[in-house]
Chain A
Amino acid sequence: MTEPNIDPALLRGLTEPRYSRRQILRAGAVGAGSVSLAAILAACGTPAVTGNNGAASSGAAGGVGTPAWWSKQKLTHELNFANWPYYIDTAHGQHPTIQQFEKQTNIKVNYTEPIDDNTSFFAKIRPQLQQGQYIGYDIIVLTNNDAPLGEMIQFGWLIPLDQAKMTNFYAHASSLVKNPTWDPGNQYTMAWQSGYTCIGYNTKFIKEPIDSIESLWNPQYKGKIGMMGIATELGSFGLLATGVNPATSTPADWTKAAQKLEAQKPLVRSYYDQSYIDALKNEDIWISMVWSGDVFQAAQYQGYPQLKAVIPKEGGMFWTDNMCIPLYAQHPLDAMTYMDSVYNPQVQAQIEDYNAYVCPVPASKEIIATQLNDPTVANSPTVFPPPSMIKLSRPYYQYKNSTDLTTWNNTFVPVYQS
């Protein structure tokens, strides 16, 4: 058969690929999208904190916190106080000390408990502070063993306190919270309560007295040991176990401490946050790292007298929750008034009787024992530590810069997150 005579142009049109308008548009959109994606990926970046950096002892930018600034402040008769839960005296849903304060000074106190973790609370207030806005609180309470307090001071986001108004504080505060290492001269903070991270155990199962941190490494308690899944606490205990003072430790010490903690892992049941206290109560664990007040409250008020807290001879970590005034607070003078009023031994006695953490006012001990008729709290060494116990308290390591913090986290976080 002869080949059909096909026009070459027609043959080309039938056999070569053709692009419809839809395909061209789609290819164009994909191309444009990928180019813009690359540009967006490159452009994404956030600027550093531009807040009032360098807030040294001379006060933050604009003279905020200087004596001249404080003399211009007036009482507004209003106060917003943010605190941790279960941290103030409570009776029938009211707070007696706050009611007394309101009656005495005519300042209305709005007491709330939004803080249960330093880093998450800091993450919440950070954007407003960076924008220069009032965060809604005039007093906040931050712990000294976590990065946020140091960062607030470093970024200049705390108003320096009016030293002239701190009469009660300087008259009655204990030496443990006056001029502390994390805030020399109490420029920005006044302690609210302190506490110990120490060892708690169930006397029902552990008959022998516990006095050393090595008992957390005792193979006899295999599977019944609890540790804290918090980098600062776990790392500090690891350092104590290797005989190093955490405050003066070096990264080489941290590595050795991490190895000791790794060796402990087969014996540990779990790394807890604050739920270790439930595990102790349930008898899931017999011995654990604890915060002193939790065990005290469980033993005295919640019906678990078999639980005991003890500070080992290597030392217990001493932390302090601190009241401070955030920048852009709208009622700073009222805040100052309240903060100092808390150091009146009478007021502190009432607060301490409920809290049972370490009291910042030694004079309250007498008042709790006699007037409030509560010798258990008054005589408890974890509330009014005797000198022998004060010798055993160890301060936390203060991070020098962000690389320091990252090294600490990279050393200890893999221990409990594996």
Chain B
Amino acid sequence: MPYALGAPGFLWLLIFFLIPLVTILSLSTQTCDPITLACTQTWNFKEFGNVLSTYHVEFLRSIAYGGLATLIDLAVAFPVAYWIAFRGGHRKNFYLLLLLLPFFVSFVIRTLAWKFLLADQGIILSPLKTLHLLPADYHVLATSTAVVAGIAYNFLPFTALPLYVALERIDPRVLEASRDLYASNRTVFVKIILPLAVPGIFAAFLLTFVPAVGDFVNAQILGGVSNTMIGNIIQDKFLTNIDYPAASALSTILLLAMLIGIFAYGRILGTRTIEEYI
């Protein structure tokens, strides 16, 4: 009878998670005709090899862009989360709201706004060019810098919030105790705050890295030649140049790469929370 209470949740998971997942796994070994969309299961595992050999560059590039953007986000979000958690005072919720406010605007529109800001003769570059700090034909858009910056910007709240939650949970009495034992500020930070914040860093990394690697909006709007990410390839194969087996194979490989990477990362970081979930 207690299991009946979980029925709505289980049903939701079944319809919106399990069934799509199984469909994708199944499609990756099928053969589909791109015009009639007739698909038959042929257990064609060669598709994985084909797809990896054709798109390994985009895979590695996506991981590189996603990883770089996540590192930037961690570097930027940690001081912000630290400040809100320890120095926020009674206005903590307000500062958190400020952090989340851009999310009220659509993801695509925010990225388009960046396209406007970073335009060759736009608000940011134009004054710098007039002052001759930059060469006249310098451009940020259509380079990998713009794409990584766009991804870092769009996923910053995903990094800041878990960090904030982890830092907020640190009992201030522990810090007092460490100071009583003659710990300098640096020692307090390195030996006490950082280790206690590690689950937060891990969660922040997860929440930022995984969607960043699969992102396609930033590459499409801000990127140029040789900036295509694996998300663009998958989107194109599903919607424009219809090739369901290849797209599903790419999605499966991305999923597996993420899972393996994250479990490995979890083991290395030594966070015990992973073992609790298994």
B120 in the interface (beta carbon within 8 A):
yes
Q: How far is the CB of A234 from chain B (nearest CB, A)?
A: 12
Task: Find chain B residues with CB under 8 A from A46 CB.
Answer: 32, 37-39
Please tell me if the beta carbons of B34 and A402 are within 8 angstroms of each other in the complex.
Answer: yes
Please tell me if the beta carbons of B224 and A41 are within 8 angstroms of each other in the complex.
Answer: no
Please tell me if the beta carbons of B36 and A402 are within 8 angstroms of each other in the complex.
Answer: yes
Task: Find chain A residues with CB under 8 A from B142 CB.
Answer: 269-270, 284
> Mask for B218-248, Cβ within 8 A of A = 1, else 0?
0000011110100011001001111100000
Option from A41, A45, A283, A416 in Cβ contact (under 8 Å) with B40: A45
Task: Find chain B residues with CB under 8 A from A49 CB.
Answer: 36-38
Option from A48, A119, A123, A282 in Cβ contact (under 8 Å) with B119: A282
B41 in the interface (beta carbon within 8 A):
yes
Please tell me if the beta carbons of A42 and B228 are within 8 angstroms of each other in the complex.
Answer: no
Complex alpha-carbon distance, A219 and B254, angstroms:
38
Please tell me if the beta carbons of A401 and B225 are within 8 angstroms of each other in the complex.
Answer: no
B176 in the interface (beta carbon within 8 A):
no
Please tell me if the beta carbons of B139 and A406 are within 8 angstroms of each other in the complex.
Answer: no
A312 in the interface (beta carbon within 8 A):
no
A171 in the interface (beta carbon within 8 A):
no
Please tell me if the beta carbons of B26 and A417 are within 8 angstroms of each other in the complex.
Answer: no
Residue among B58, B120, B142 having the largest count of chain A Cβ atoms under 10 Å: B142
* Given contacts A406-B243, A409-B241, A401 and B35 within 8 Å (CB-CB): yes
> Mask for B264-275, Cβ within 8 A of A = 1, else 0?
000000000000
A414 in the interface (beta carbon within 8 A):
yes
**Closest chain A residue, CB of each to CB of B220:** A273
A271 in the interface (beta carbon within 8 A):
yes
B4 in the interface (beta carbon within 8 A):
no
Task: Find chain A residues with CB under 8 A from B242 CB.
Answer: 119
Please tell me if the beta carbons of A282 and B241 are within 8 angstroms of each other in the complex.
Answer: no
Please tell me if the beta carbons of A282 and B22 are within 8 angstroms of each other in the complex.
Answer: no
Q: How far is the CB of A21 from chain B (nearest CB, A)?
A: 16
Q: How far is the CB of A49 from chain B (nearest CB, A)?
A: 5
Option from A42, A48, A271, A282 in Cβ contact (under 8 Å) with B36: A48
Task: Find chain B residues with CB under 8 A from A406 CB.
Answer: 34, 243
Please tell me if the beta carbons of A40 and B22 are within 8 angstroms of each other in the complex.
Answer: yes
Please tell me if the beta carbons of B38 and A41 are within 8 angstroms of each other in the complex.
Answer: no
Main secondary structure of the interface of B (DSSP, over half): loop
Task: Find chain A residues with CB under 8 A from B27 CB.
Answer: 44
Q: How many residues of B contact A (CB 8 A)?
A: 41
Q: How far is the CB of A223 from chain B (nearest CB, A)?
A: 7
Option from A37, A41, A269, A417 in Cβ contact (under 8 Å) with B232: A417
**Closest chain B residue, CB of each to CB of A46:** B39
Please tell me if the beta carbons of A119 and B139 are within 8 angstroms of each other in the complex.
Answer: no
**Closest chain A residue, CB of each to CB of B219:** A417
Please tell me if the beta carbons of A47 and B240 are within 8 angstroms of each other in the complex.
Answer: no
Q: How far is the CB of B221 from chain A (nearest CB, A)?
A: 9
Q: How far is the CB of B243 from chain A (nearest CB, A)?
A: 7
Task: Find chain B residues with CB under 8 A from A40 CB.
Answer: 22, 26
Please tell me if the beta carbons of A48 and B38 are within 8 angstroms of each other in the complex.
Answer: yes
Task: Find chain B residues with CB under 8 A from A268 CB.
Answer: 225
A371 in the interface (beta carbon within 8 A):
no
Option from B40, B58, B141 in Cβ contact (under 8 Å) with A284: B141
Task: Find chain B residues with CB under 8 A from A147 CB.
Answer: 35
A347 in the interface (beta carbon within 8 A):
no
Q: How far is the CB of A27 from chain B (nearest CB, A)?
A: 15
B29 in the interface (beta carbon within 8 A):
yes
**Closest chain A residue, CB of each to CB of B22:** A40
Option from A37, A269, A282 in Cβ contact (under 8 Å) with B225: A269
Complex alpha-carbon distance, A168 and B223, angstroms:
48
A113 in the interface (beta carbon within 8 A):
no
Task: Find chain B residues with CB under 8 A from A417 CB.
Answer: 58, 228, 232-233, 236
Complex alpha-carbon distance, A299 and B88, angstroms:
54
Complex alpha-carbon distance, A270 and B30, angstroms:
34
Complex alpha-carbon distance, A120 and B236, angstroms:
11
Q: List 25 A-B contacts (CB under 8 A).
A: A37-B22, A41-B26, A41-B29, A42-B26, A43-B41, A44-B27, A44-B39, A45-B30, A46-B32, A48-B37, A119-B239, A119-B240, A231-B241, A270-B142, A270-B223, A270-B224, A270-B225, A283-B120, A284-B141, A402-B34, A402-B35, A402-B36, A417-B232, A417-B236, A418-B57
Given contacts A269-B139, A269-B224, A284-B142, 5 further A-B pairs with CB under 8 A are A44-B22, A48-B36, A223-B137, A268-B225, A402-B33
